[in-house]
Amino acid sequence: MASLDVIEPEGPREGTIDLICDITDPSAVASAIERVRAEAGPVSIVVHCAAYQVISPFGRLDPESWARTFRVNVDGAFNVVRAALTDMQDAGWGRIVMITSSSQFAPPPGMTHYIASKGALTGMVRALATELGPDGITVNAVAPGLTATKHALHDVPPEHFETVRSRQAVPRTGEPSDIAAVVSFAASDDAAFMTGQTLLVDGGESRI
C-alpha cells in the first residue's frame, strides 16, 4: 500500500499484486482490499508500513505537516486494518504488524510529530491485541532503527549513519532484510503466543 505520495510499482513479481492506493482514503482502501480478496482470497495478514516523515523543529512545524503525518501513519493504519478485519475474524486467525520506530525510545530533535504518530501506533497495537486476542488475531509492532532503505540512503547524511552505528551494539547499518525477517516472524505461526509487543530491530542502539 502506498501513502499519499504515489509510488510506481517496480514491475510485477511472482505471487504479488501491485496496487497504488491512497491509504488515507477509506473508500480507496476498501476497493484495494476487495481486489486482493478477488485475486488472492481472504486477507489473513496485514503489515502497515506506510509512513510520512519530514524533519522540522516543533516551533516551525506547520499544522498541515502535523496533520498529514497522522493521516498517513495513523489514519492509514486504521483504514487498512478496519477493511481487512472481518476476514481474520471469520477465519479465527490473523496477524497484524505495525511498523513503528525506535525513535520513540531515544527521540532525536525535529521529529516530534513523527514520533507522536508512531507512539499512537504503539498504543493502537496494545489496545487491539487486547480486543482481538479472543478472535485468534495477534497484533504486534516492529520498531526499526535507522535502516539503509532507498529513501534513507537518499535523504540521510552519511555521517548520521556513522553516528548511529557508533551507538549500536551491532556496529553495522541495518538492512531492509533485517526488518523483513522480524516482520516475517511476527506474522508466522511461531509467534502465536506473542501479542501486544514492540520488537526493536535497531542493532541494540536502544538496549531496553
Edge-to-edge strand order for the sheet containing 94-99? 45-48, 94-99, 137-144, 198-201
Element (H, E) at 51: none
**Which one is catalytic: 32, 77, 114, 164?**
114
**Contact predicate 81/48, CB 8 Å:** yes
Give CA–CA dist 78/71, Å, rounded: 10
Active site residue 114: yes
Alpha carbon of residue 104 to chain centroid:
14
DSSP class of residue 205? S
Catalytic residues: 114
